[in-house]
Structure 1
Amino acid sequence: MKTSRFRGSQILGILKQAEAGAPVPEICREHGISSATFYKWRSKYGGMDASLMVRLKELEDENRRLKKMYAEERLKAEIIKEALEKKA
């Protein structure tokens, strides 16, 4: 998964510039991001502070780990099921 070149505090700073009234195209040009990226960030992080953003990242990481664990366990169960069917 590609990581962002911007940290959470930088993203929040960019969003606060827009809230202060700076035009979005100018902000995007200044920071070298696309308008689609800006609006994606605004929908995901709009109204958050730094502590909420950190918590969101932690929850996303935990969710990713749990999905991986589930996939591995499901694969093990399928292998065991196939082995038992061949044995019987």
Structure 2
Amino acid sequence: MKAARFTDAQKAFILKQGTDGTPVAEICRKAGISQATYFNWKKKYMMAFCRPR
């Protein structure tokens, strides 16, 4: 399996910028990721935080 390029902390930092009002296109350009990757991460991590206990 290929090693991850970004740590979970880095992914969380990138996703947090989206909640601060920065346009997704700008975030992705600065991070060097596609918008599809951004939204896949968002779906994955938001589901992890919203899981009922």
> Shorter chain as normaliser: what TM range?
0.7 to 0.9
2:25 aligned partner: 25
- What secondary structure, in the 3-state scheme, does the structure 1 residue paired with 2:5 have? coil
Question: How many Å apart are 1:28 and its aligned residue?
Answer: 0.3
Max radius of gyration: which structure?
1
Point out where structure 2 has 5 or more consecutive residues left out of the alignment.
Answer: none
| Aligned: 1:5 with 2:14 | no
Alignment root-mean-square deviation, CA: 1.3
Question: How many Å apart are 1:3 and its aligned residue?
Answer: 2.2
The structure with the largest helix share of the pair is 1
The runs of at least 4 aligned residues of structure 1 exceeding 4 Å deviation read none
Q: Which amino acid aligns with 1:29?
A: R
Q: Which amino acid aligns with 1:6?
A: F
Deviations along 1:35-73, one digit per CA (max 9) or x if unpaired, are: 11100000001274xxxxxxxxxxxxxxxxxxxxxxxxx
Structure 2 CA distance for aligned equivalents of residues 30 and 9 of structure 1 = 16
Structure 2 CA distance for aligned equivalents of residues 17 and 9 of structure 1 = 13
Matched-pair identity in %: 50
Question: How many Å apart are 1:4 and its aligned residue?
Answer: 1.7
Using structure 1 for the length normalisation, give the TM-score.
0.51
Using structure 2 for the length normalisation, give the TM-score.
0.82
